[in-house]
Amino acid sequence: MKINPEIMSTPSYQLPLEYSQLLAVVKQLKASDKLKLLKTLQGDTFKLKFKKLLSSLKTDQLSLDDITKEVEAVRQQRYEQK
């Protein structure tokens, strides 16, 4: 895991803010700072989205034999199209 020294040296504050208050503060930022914030939020939410995707794809219904059969069928179709 990479630690961003810029974030580590930034003082941390805890303020009870409503979404609308936070949005008003963000709107006051320079465009470059908004982009930094966007990248930070995207990085933070990527892990959550990826875990959700993985859990939605989990299944006990597929066996290695089923996967192998499907791969062989696709290979055969592609071979016949050449």
Q: For residue 74, tell me if it sits in a domain.
A: yes
Q: For residue 2, tell me if it sits in a domain.
A: no
Task: Specify the pLDDT at position 52.
Answer: 87
Q: What is the pLDDT of residues 34-64, one digit of tens each?
A: 999 999 999 888 888 888 888 887 777 778 8
Question: For the chain, what is the domain count?
Answer: 1
Q: For residue 25, tell me if it sits in a domain.
A: yes
C-alpha span between 76 and 55 (Å, rounded): 31
Q: Is the pLDDT of residue 3 over 70?
A: no
Q: For residue 6, tell me if it sits in a domain.
A: no
Sign of CA dihedral 24, 25, 28, 31: negative
Let me know: does 26 contact 37? Beta carbons within 8 Å.
yes
Q: For residue 59, tell me if it sits in a domain.
A: yes
C-alpha span between 41 and 19 (Å, rounded): 15
Q: For residue 38, tell me if it sits in a domain.
A: yes
Query: Which amino acid, residue 58?
Result: K
Task: Specify the pLDDT at position 7.
Answer: 55
Let me know: does 18 contact 26? Beta carbons within 8 Å.
no
Parent domain of 72: 16-81
Of 34 and 6, which is predicted with more confidence? Answer: 34
Task: Provide the token pair at 20.
Answer: 């609308």
Instruction: Enter the pTM of the model.
Output: 0.47
